[in-house]
Amino acid sequence: QVQLVESGGGWVQPGGSLRLSCAASGSILSVGDMGWYRQEPGKERELVARITSGGSSYYADSVKGRFTISRVNAVRTVSLQMNSLQPEDTAVYYCKADIIDYRGRYRDYWGQGTQVTVSS
């Protein structure tokens, strides 16, 4: 069984910072791409940032220059440092990871989501 557990959400004023973390655990053989998505009420889930196992990263235009994604392969964690947060960044943030388990099955897994609220 594979789990992704997120932490680090909360409330912050505009211009503030938050750091999200996600740890993968369980019967994992290898972890491929990892990423962060977000979803506002009534809207589709959107990609915020993703990172390959080799460290190549991609960012949505709306967060470039403000957010930084990183990972530590040895402990199967991915983090998202969010700076200069704005009210439009308010959403539930989800961690996603492409994982091969011990049985050789490949699929993507999602975390439970963590709320980020930016308001004054």
Looking at residue 64, its pLDDT comes to 98
Q: What is the pLDDT of residues 56-103, one digit of tens each?
A: 999 999 999 999 999 999 999 999 999 999 999 999 999 999 999 999
CA gap 95, 98 in Å, rounded: 11
Looking at residue 22, its pLDDT comes to 98
> Got the DSSP string for 53-81?
TT--EEE-GGGTTTEEEEEEGGGTEEEEE
Q: What is the pLDDT of residues 9-42, one digit of tens each?
A: 999 999 999 999 999 999 999 999 999 999 999 9
Q: Which residues pair with 91 in a beta bridge?
A: 116
